[in-house]
Amino acid sequence: AFNKVLPPDLSEALSKANTIGAPDSSATTDLIGAPVKALSPFNHRLRSLSHDPLLGFLFGIWDMINGTCTIINDGQIETFPSTKGATEGNIFQLFGRMFGHLLSDVNAPSASGNRGMGLPAPFMGILRMFEGIPVGDSNFGRQIEYMYLKGYDFRQFVTTSIPMTIMEVMIRAFYVVKQIKVNNASFGETIIDTLPTQLNPRFRMMLALAYGTSSAVNAGKIYVTQNILNANYASWLGLAWNGVHALKWALYDKHMKLWGGIEDKEIKELEMTVEKINQLEARAILLPS
């Protein structure tokens, strides 16, 4: 599918037209003062934060301006000067270059013409910072790199996102129907409750539970098969995102909203009491002495 949308010749043309210089350093020899095994042509897109589909627009533009390359090394974010130097252009030109370059790397072929290692999944590179978490005889950071080198890149992420997208659409549909049929809510109001920017907290809880169930099943599959490549990264990413927001609502926002309502009610009652006192005082002044 990706070969139809981004064929190798188009990827190559985009790459040549959108060179980004320093952030595209692909070997340790391109970096000044970097450790020997900091980068290689095989892992540079994972280790270099300029190649993250989202973080790349931040780190990539920063590195183009400064002639540096920001990588994850030994569980830390480190920035090294690059022999490729800075890239000239205003912020809009650099943004365009960054977009074009990332697009060229989505379906980038290898030097031998085979399926190369394209862009990593969002935030996958920065997960290498968690090298302190043991996973069997290895650690979490190394497992992430193993997944990437075995082909778990942005293309695989998009593929595993399909069932998660279907799940979210179905949950939204059921939620809308229930709110309209059971709670007599309006269609427009219910739709707004399911928009990503204005999620109803209860609907967020539903999403967190759905992603939690999906991730639990996926964890079981990984354990049974003993193969980390069976991980559904999209499911775990959805669990982390919705889970954090759901917990924040349950442990903090809900209580603040409750006490905020109580506070507003008490303030109104005090205001009414003060107003009554003022009225009584005004009447008292009018009484004959």
Q: pLDDT digits over 35-84, tens only?
A: 888 898 889 999 999 999 999 999 999 999 999 999 998 889 999 999 99
pTM (predicted TM-score): 0.79
Mean pLDDT of 276-287: 78
Listed in sequence order, the residues at least 6 apart from 123 whose beta carbon sits closer than 8 Å to its beta carbon are 52, 54, 55, 237
H or E stretch including 81?
Answer: strand 76-81
Mean pLDDT of 119-133: 90
Is the pLDDT assigned to residue 29 strictly greater than 80?
A: yes
Mean pLDDT of 232-253: 90
Is the pLDDT assigned to residue 134 strictly greater than 90?
A: no
Q: Please state, in angstroms and rounded to a whole number, the distance separating the CA atoms of residues 289 and 286.
A: 9
Q: Please state, in angstroms and rounded to a whole number, the distance separating the CA atoms of residues 163 and 79.
A: 37
Is the pLDDT assigned to residue 115 strictly greater than 70?
A: no
Which residues are paired to 220 by β-bridges? none
Listed in sequence order, the residues at least 6 apart from 88 whose beta carbon sits closer than 8 Å to its beta carbon are none
Burial of 167 (C-beta count, 10 Å sphere; 0-12/13-18/19+): middle
- Cα dihedral sign for 126, 129, 133, 136? positive
Listed in sequence order, the residues at least 6 apart from 105 whose beta carbon sits closer than 8 Å to its beta carbon are 11, 15, 45, 51, 118, 119
Phi-psi region of 32 (alpha: psi -120 to 50; beta: other; left: phi over 0): beta
- Interstrand relation of 138-139 and 134-135 (parallel, antiparallel or unpaired): antiparallel
What pLDDT was estimated at residue 118?
Answer: 86
